[in-house]
């Protein structure tokens, strides 16, 4: 940069030659007057010229040093002013250079600035990607990885980040699916079908594109149908071997699975089972009364009243229950 000319003109030391010559001439004239005064005083006893000469010489000798002092002070002041002006010129030149540099920096384009700070920006994006992965925000992490490729042109690094993000997301997804599938498995074994379906729907909302998750409702329904078939087969087997109590217990569970049409198709067989159950209870009650096993008769009678409350047999048993309780409360007769 071309050096700028000084803002102030250089101060020059004052010219003192003329003043010195003037004092020298005045001194010579004063000495001449003094000499004339001495001559007149010696011959004519005229003292006034001698006095004037003495006054002139004394005046010149007194004022000359004062003049020289003033001249020296002026010269020193002029030198100080010159130094200050020179220093000020240097400071102005430095300030001008700084202003020029600032102006040039302001003229840099946004692209030039991004190039200058690209390494710091890239490191900041790398750290941000790792933070998003740790927090589980994989979409934000992928967006930042795409920015590395789009903004800086580093495709290989962006691909590496994308692979890492997808691998971490798949790992978390697999772990979550395994946990929920284990819960659903326990629920299906416990015949908690509505609860299992709710868990599956929540998992579908979380991972809608996963094939294993999308198939969970069908798998749950298949398990439910399989369990239903097992209950029906067990019920037919119990009926075939005339296991009335067993068939009724199976029928209570099966009632939750049967559709109206299926229940209607089994109606005749169910009536036969319950009719057989009533006959069995009637026989047990009668035998217990005949054998004077009052406690057993009361137990069977209470079962009849509870399980078949609206039947004629239940009305008959109710009528006899008070007498049976009195008999049961009587002491046993002593044996011989």
Residue 167 lies in a domain: yes
Residue ending a domain, among 232, 250, 265, is: 265
184 band by pLDDT with thresholds 50, 70 and 90: very high
Residue 14: per-residue pLDDT: 45
Confidence of residue 9 (pLDDT cuts 50, 70, 90): very low
Residue-wise pLDDT for 115-132, tens only, equals 656 778 788 888 888 888
Question: End-to-end alpha-carbon separation of the chain, Å?
Answer: 143
Q: Is the pLDDT of residue 284 over 90?
A: no
Residue 79 has pLDDT above 50, yes or no: yes
- Is there a single domain that holds both residue 293 and residue 317? yes
In a domain, residue 10? The reply is no
In a domain, 93, yes or no: no
Whether residues 126 and 203 fall in one domain: yes
DSSP 46: -
Residues 234 and 193 in one domain: no
- Domain for residue 100, yes or no? no
On the question of pLDDT at 198 being above 50, the answer is yes
At residue 301 the predicted structure's pLDDT band, cuts being 50, 70 and 90, is confident
As a whole number, mean pLDDT of residues 78-98 equals 67
Q: What is the pLDDT of residue 265?
A: 82
Residues 253 and 271 in one domain: no
161 and 126, same structural domain? yes
pLDDT at 225 (0 to 100): 92
Please indicate, yes or no, if residue 3 is contained in any of the structural domains.
Answer: no
Q: Is residue 197 part of a domain?
A: yes
In this predicted structure, what is the pLDDT of residue 247? 84
pLDDT for 192 equals 92
Q: How many domains does the chain have?
A: 4
Is the pLDDT score of 327 beyond 90? no
Whole-structure pTM value:
0.51
On the 0-12 / 13-18 / 19+ scale of CB atoms within 10 A, 285 is buried
Average pLDDT of the residues in 57-71: 71
Q: For 221-270, how does the pLDDT look when each residue is reduced to its tens digit (9 = 90+)?
A: 999 999 989 998 998 888 888 888 888 888 888 888 888 888 888 888 88
Q: Is residue 11 part of a domain?
A: no
Give yes or no: residues 168 and 252 share one domain: no
Higher pLDDT, 157 or 107: 157
Average pLDDT score, the chain: 78
Amino acid 296: pLDDT: 87
Q: How is residue 274 written in tokens?
A: 């319950």
Please report whether residue 272 resides in a domain.
Answer: yes
Whether 2 has a pLDDT exceeding 50, the answer reads no
CA angle 67, 72, 76 (to 5 degrees): 150
pLDDT at residue number 64 = 65
Q: Domain span at residue 147?
A: 118-214
* Mean of pLDDT values over 187-192: 92
Q: Are residues 191 and 229 in the same domain?
A: no
Give 256's DSSP letter: T
Could you tell me if 203 and 243 lie in one domain?
Answer: no
Statement: residue 293 has pLDDT above 50: yes
Co-location of 320 and 273 in the same domain: yes
In tens, the pLDDT along 162-174 reads 898 889 888 888 9
Q: What are phi and psi of 244, to 5 degrees?
A: -65, -50
């Amino acid at each position: 940069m071309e050096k700028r000319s000084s803002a102030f003109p250089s101060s020059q030391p004052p010219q003192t030659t003329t003043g010195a010559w003037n004092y020298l001439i005045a001194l010579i004239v004063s000495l001449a007057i003094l000499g004339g005064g001495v001559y007149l005083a010696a011959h004519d006893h005229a003292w006034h010229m001698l006095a004037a000469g003495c006054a002139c010489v004394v005046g010149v000798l007194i004022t000359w040093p004062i003049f020289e002092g003033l001249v020296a002070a002026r010269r020193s002041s002029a030198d100080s002013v010159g130094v200050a002006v020179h220093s000020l010129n240097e400071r102005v030149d430095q300030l001008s250079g700084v202003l020029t540099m600032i102006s040039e920096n302001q003229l840099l384009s946004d692209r030039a600035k991004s190039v200058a700070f690209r390494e710091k920006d890239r490191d900041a994006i790398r750290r941000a990607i790792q933070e998003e992965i740790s927090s589980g925000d994989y979409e934000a992490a992928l967006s930042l990885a795409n920015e590395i490729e789009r903004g800086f042109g580093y495709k290989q690094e962006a691909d590496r980040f994308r692979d890492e993000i997808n691998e971490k997301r798949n790992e978390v997804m697999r772990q979550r699916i395994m946990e929920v599938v284990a819960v659903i498995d326990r629920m299906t074994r416990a015949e908690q079908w509505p609860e299992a379906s709710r868990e599956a729907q929540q998992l579908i909302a979380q991972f809608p594109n996963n094939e294993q998750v999308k198939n969970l409702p069908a798998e749950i329904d298949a398990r439910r149908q399989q369990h239903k078939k097992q209950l029906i087969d067990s019920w037919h087997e119990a009926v075939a071997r005339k296991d009335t109590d067993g068939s009724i217990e199976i029928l209570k569970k099966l009632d939750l699975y049967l559709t109206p049409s299926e229940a209607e198709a089994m109606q005749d067989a169910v009536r036969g089972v319950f009719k057989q159950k009533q006959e069995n209870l009637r026989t047990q009650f009668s035998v217990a009364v005949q054998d004077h096993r009052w406690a057993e008769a009361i137990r069977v009678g209470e079962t009849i009243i509870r399980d078949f409350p609206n039947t004629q047999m239940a009305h008959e048993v109710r009528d006899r229950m008070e007498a049976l309780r009195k008999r049961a409360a009587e002491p046993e007769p002593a044996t011989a």
